Amino acid sequence: MPNSAATFAVTVPSTVSLPIIGSAKRFPVGRIFCVGRNYAEHAREMGGDPTREPPFFFMKPPSALVADGMDVPYPTQSADVEHELEVVVAIGVGGAHITVDRALEHVYGYAVGVDLTCRDLQGQAKKAGRPWETSKAFDHSAPCSAVTRASEIGHPSSGPLELRINGSLRQRGDIGQMIWNVPEIIAHLSEYFALQPGDLIFTGTPAGVGPVKIGDRLDLIAPTIGELSFNIVAPNHGPEDQT
């Protein structure tokens, strides 16, 4: 159990956090949950069934997080990295077995992010029946904007989402196109995990996922939530790479 008075045998990692729009405080990030295939058109483009089956989840570690304006190094083990534009939910109040009608009470705010995916490694894992961590949970795989507080914007149930690469539109969708909406995602996820303050939930991507390459600039905008920009850069192979 956490103990602030304990003496630890190794260096304690620093807390990963995101800025909060309009506040000097920061949002501490613990776990990062991700929902798979939560937009019908994306499910179709990935060869899946867009019917309303129970949502499924995977996770990324805090080391995957990249704040707005920071560079993202291209992963060295992949030759096919793709972008997935997503709305991100920031949990402010923990709980388990949360009901749909009370779910939004647990939301601190919202952000916009990208689930970067090594599609070649994911394909290999699927074929072999293995977990997806190497394709989804690598360092710097979760760029995310500053958090906008729900107390400022409410809980958007619709609104456009857009991702551009080098100025060209690559993905466009709407929050209202989710198969499972935010309250339903929270309720379902809380049946498996006791949610904690600081958890992030990436809520799935609309259609239009595609490749990124070194030198690309990605710009995301969700007018009701926020904006995110970052560059894809060559990997840093040295021990000083702490992005």
Per-residue pLDDT of the chain (243 residues; tens, 9 = 90+): 556 668 999 998 899 999 999 999 999 999 999 998 899 765 565 555 666 678 899 999 999 999 999 999 999 999 999 999 999 999 999 999 999 999 999 999 999 999 999 999 999 999 999 998 999 999 999 999 999 999 999 999 999 999 999 999 999 999 999 999 999 999 999 999 999 999 999 999 998 999 999 999 999 999 999 999 999 999 975 444 433
Element (H, E) at 89: strand 85-91
Q: What is the pLDDT of residue 51?
A: 66
- Distance of alpha carbon 172 from the chain centroid: 17
Q: What is the pLDDT of residue 209?
A: 95
CA nearest to 139, candidates 64, 86, 200: 64
> Residue 3: inside a domain, yes or no?
no
What is the three-state SS of 157-190? CCCEEEEEECCEEEEEEEHHHECCCHHHHHHHHC
- Phi-psi domain of 95 (left: phi exceeds 0; alpha: psi -120 through 50; beta: other): left
> Residue 44: inside a domain, yes or no?
yes
**Beta-carbon neighbour count of residue 49 at 10 Å?**
10
Measure the CA angle with vertex 120, ends 119 and 124; round to 5°: 115
Q: What is the pLDDT of residue 234?
A: 97
CA nearest to 89, candidates 231, 193, 220, 189: 189
> Taking the model in full, what pTM does it have?
0.91
> Could you give the 3-state DSSP secondary structure of residue 4?
coil
> Residue 14: inside a domain, yes or no?
no
Distinct helix (H) and strand (E) counts, the chain: 5, 18
Give dist(CA 61, CA 197) in Å, integer.
15
Q: Is-contact 164 36, C-beta < 8 A?
A: no
Give dist(CA 52, CA 204) in Å, integer.
14
> Residue 155: inside a domain, yes or no?
yes
Give dist(CA 162, CA 44) in Å, integer.
19
> Residue 241: inside a domain, yes or no?
no
CA nearest to 106, candidates 2, 35, 190: 190
For position 176, which CATH number holds? Answer: 3.90.850.10
> Residue 6: inside a domain, yes or no?
no
> Residue 124: inside a domain, yes or no?
yes
Query: What residue numbers bound the domain in which 104 lies?
Result: 23-233
Classify residue 199 by burial, with Cβ atoms within 10 Å: 0-12, 13-18, 19+. Answer: buried
Q: How many domains does the chain have?
A: 1
Structure tokens given for 2: 């956490």
- Phi-psi domain of 239 (left: phi exceeds 0; alpha: psi -120 through 50; beta: other): alpha
> Residue 50: inside a domain, yes or no?
yes
Q: How many residues in the chain? A: 243
The DSSP output letter for 240 is T
The CA–CA distances, whole Å, from 86 to 94, 124, 177, 200, 234 equal 22, 24, 12, 12, 24
